[in-house]
Structure 1
Amino acid sequence: MRIHQYVSRPVFPGYLLYPESYGWYREEPEHREHRPPGQLPYYNLHFVFGGRGELVWKNRRYELAAGQGFLYAPDQEQRYGAVPDEPWDVRWVHFFGEGAAALLGDKGIGEPWVFALGDVSRCLALTDELLRFSESPDSSAEQRLSAKLYELLLAMLGASRPKAAGAPPDSRERILAAADAIRSRCEEPWTLARMAETADYSVYHFDRLFRGYIGKSPMRFLLESRIVRAKRLLITGRLSVGDIAAATGFSQSSYFIKRFKELEGLTPQQFREQRT
C-alpha cells in the first residue's frame, strides 16, 4: 500500500511550517529511496510504526524498527528503504517553512537525525489526522494543516530520546518528573547532586540525560525557573527586590539583579516599572 498526498502551495504565504506532501507505505518490500544532494529541497521526516527498515549514511547503517524515525534537512543526500522480508509500516512528511530551522536546530543537517520515540501514540494519532486532509485543502483548511504539522513536530521533539546509547526506557519520564520538581520548588536550595538524587541517577548520567531531553543544563533550567517566578512577583506583588530575591532562591540580591539583567536585558526594578 502506498498513499501519497501532494499539497498545493498555500494561498497565505506566511506560514512558518507547511507540508509539501505526506504519505504512508505499508507492505512494500521494494520501497527504497536514493536521492543525491540537492534533489529534495524540503525537510523529510519519517516515522516507523511497524516492520523494519534501514538507513545508510556513508559507512554507517541504521536498522530501524517500530518507535523509531529519521529526519533529513533540505538538499541532503538520502538513502533508506524497507527490509524486504519484513517491510516497514512507515509514515512520512516533506515540509518547508521559515520556522523549521528555529524549531529543529541543526537536526538533519550534514547527516540524518535518527531518533527513538519514548511514546509513539501521540505521533501515530497526529499522522492519522494529517492523512485525513484532502490533497488540496481550501484556504480555510490551510491554517489547520499548518497547525497540525507544527503539533506533530512538537510531539516528535517532546517524545524523542537522546542519541546517547543505553538510555533506560523510563529515563524520559524520570527526567521530566525531576524538571517539574525543580520548576515547582525552584526557591529551594537545589544542587546538581540533589537534582540527580530526585531522578535516582548519578550526577554524570543525570546531567547528560537532562541536557538531552530538556535541551539545557539542569542549573540553567533552575535559573530560568527562578527568573520566571521572580517576574510574576515583580508584576503581581509589592515585595521589594531583596525580598523577591530571597523568595526565589537567591541568597544575595546583587546576584539576583545581575542574573536577571543577563536574561531579561533589564534590572528587576526596570522590569517592574516597565510592566506596571
Structure 2
Amino acid sequence: MDFPGKTRKRASSIYCLKLKGYSGGYHATALKSVHFMNDWEKELSHTQYHKHNFYELAVVLRGAGTHLTDSQKLPLRPGSVFLLHPGESHAYEYSEPLTLMNFMFDSQILRPYRKSLSGLAGYPLLFCPAEERRELCVDSATLAELDILLHAMAMESRQRSAGAELLLISHLLNLLVLVLRKSCSYVERERFNSDIGIAVAFMRRNYQEEISLPKLARLANLSESSFFRKFREEMKTSPMQWLLNLRIRKAMEFLIRSDMNIGEIAAATGFSDSLYFSRQFRRQVGVSPKNYRSQAHGPRQIIHGLQTLEEIGDI
C-alpha cells in the first residue's frame, strides 16, 4: 500500500461504498465517522477518494478540514452540512481529528416526498448539482438535535425490531426537514441581527451559569417580548429552549469524552441538580445519561486515513 503525501485520485482504484454494508438491508441508517491523523502525515492527513451507491448527508460535529470533489473544494468546520450524490467521488483533508455525522439513504426513499421537501427554503441549497454546492451550516442547537436523531437511527438499525424500516424513514424525513429549515450559508449567518448574536454568544460562553430571559433581553438591549419574538424569528426556537439544547449537547460531549459522574456533568452544564438534568436529558435524547454513555450513541466508524477505506471498500 502506498501512502501519498497528497490526496491522489486514480480512476481504477476509487472505492464504491455500498449502503447494505452499513444498514443491514434497510434503506436508511446513520453513524459517526472519526477521521484521525495519520502517523505518516505530520501536518495534514488525507482520505482516499471514494464514492457511494447511496445519498449521504454529512454534518461536521468537531474538527476542521477541506471537502474535496471533482468540481470544488469547500472548507469544513463544526456545523458544516453537505449532501453527497450517489456515484460522486470525494475525499477529505484535515489538520486535526475530524468527526462527522453520516446519514445514509437510498434515493428511492425520497420519491414520494420530493414535492413536499422541495417547498422548503433550504431545498435548492442542499439538493443542488455538485458543481453548484455552497458552504452550508447549522447552529449548535441543530447539531444537538441531529445527534439525537443519529442515535435513534443507529439504534433502530442495530436492534432490528419490528417496524424499524418505518421508523428509520420517519427519522430521516425529520432530519431532512430540520436541516432544510435551519441550514444557511455562512454569509447569511453573519447577517444575524447583532442584538440576537450578542445573546447567543453569551449563552455559548456561559451555558454552565444561571441564565434567565430577562438577563438575555438586557444584554440585547431589548424588552423581553421584543427579544423573545426576534430570537424566535432568527433561531427558529425560543431562547430558553435553545439554551437547553446547547446544555444537552455539551452534556452529551462530557458523557462520551470525560470520566465525570452524572452529578458533575449536570453542574458543569448549568443544571440545578442531577435529577432534573437526567429528566431533561431523557426527554431530549430518549435514554438516560447513564445509558447514553454506555451505548456511546450508536456505532462509530474509526478511520485512519486510507487504511480503513480500503478495508471496507468491497462491502
1 or 2, which has the higher helix percentage? 2
Q: State the TM-score, normalized to the length of structure 1.
A: 0.48
Q: Which one scores higher on RCO, CA 8 angstroms, separation ≥ 6?
A: 2
Q: State the TM-score, normalized to the length of structure 2.
A: 0.43
- Rg (Cα) greater in structure: 1
